[in-house]
Amino acid sequence: MAIILPVEGKHPQFGKDCFVAPNATVVGDVVMGDGCSIWFSAVVRGDVHSIKMGNKVNVQDGAVIHCTYQKNPTEIGNNVSIGHNALVHGCIVQDDVLIGMGAIIMDRCIIHSNSIIAAGAVLLEGTVVEAGSIYAGVPARKVKDISKELIHGEINRIANNYIKYASWFSEHNDAPEQ
């Protein structure tokens, strides 16, 4: 059963049709929109500040979403995929973003819409990712603009696939009904 706990009187809130894997952890001031999924061994820790997620956000296996005590909340827009073992910390991620496997997003970063963060990329503290671009490397830098095909092909395809994958587990869903 997933670990879903209040912290300091703040309970996680889930939108409609959310999936939380049996060994995922969601604690504290976390608000999710509709159609979100938190996958196996993922941690969403709203204990020291708030975490807000829009609709159709998938937090894949082993990923960690956290924030900075009394300084930097984490805000995630709609249609966002956070890859396996990624770390998203005290930052803003706008709509239609793909964060690759193992990427690290540090405090005060802003990832504008229609962007891709490559697998293994490290966005140093305060990095601002241009809308419609791909960032890669350590430290991450812009490598190119994104075509409309990539936005609609990869970003939307992955977010939509995770809605489908979550439906396979609907009878085992640990997200409380809202």
Confidence label for 153 from pLDDT (cuts 50, 70 and 90)? confident
Residue 178 has pLDDT above 60, yes or no: no
Q: What is the pTM of this model?
A: 0.94
Q: What is the average pLDDT score of the chain?
A: 94
Per-residue pLDDT averaged across 56-72, rounded? 97
CA distance 123 to 115: 13
Confidence label for 174 from pLDDT (cuts 50, 70 and 90)? low
Q: Please name each of the domains of the chain with its CATH number.
A: 3-171 (2.160.10.10)
pLDDT of residue 134: 96
Q: What is the DSSP string of 120-134?
A: T-EE-TT-EEPTTEE
pLDDT of residue 173: 63
Phi/psi for 145 (5° steps) reads -80, 155
20-23 long-range Cβ contacts below 8 angstroms, 24+ apart: 20/173, 20/174, 20/175, 21/61, 21/169, 21/174, 22/172, 22/174
Give the residue ranges of DSSP H helices in the chain: 148-150, 156-167
The first and second tokens of residue 4, run together, are 């879903």
CA distance 157 to 87: 22
pLDDT of residue 171: 67
Confidence label for 148 from pLDDT (cuts 50, 70 and 90)? confident
Q: What is the DSSP string of 70-83?
A: TTB-EEE-SSEEE-
Per-residue pLDDT averaged across 123-127, rounded? 98
End-to-end CA distance of the chain: 18
Residue 100 has pLDDT above 60, yes or no: yes
Confidence label for 175 from pLDDT (cuts 50, 70 and 90)? low
Per-residue pLDDT averaged across 139-146, rounded? 96
Phi/psi for 96 (5° steps) reads 55, 60
Per-residue pLDDT averaged across 147-154, rounded? 80
What percent of the chain lies above the pLDDT cut of 90?
Answer: 89
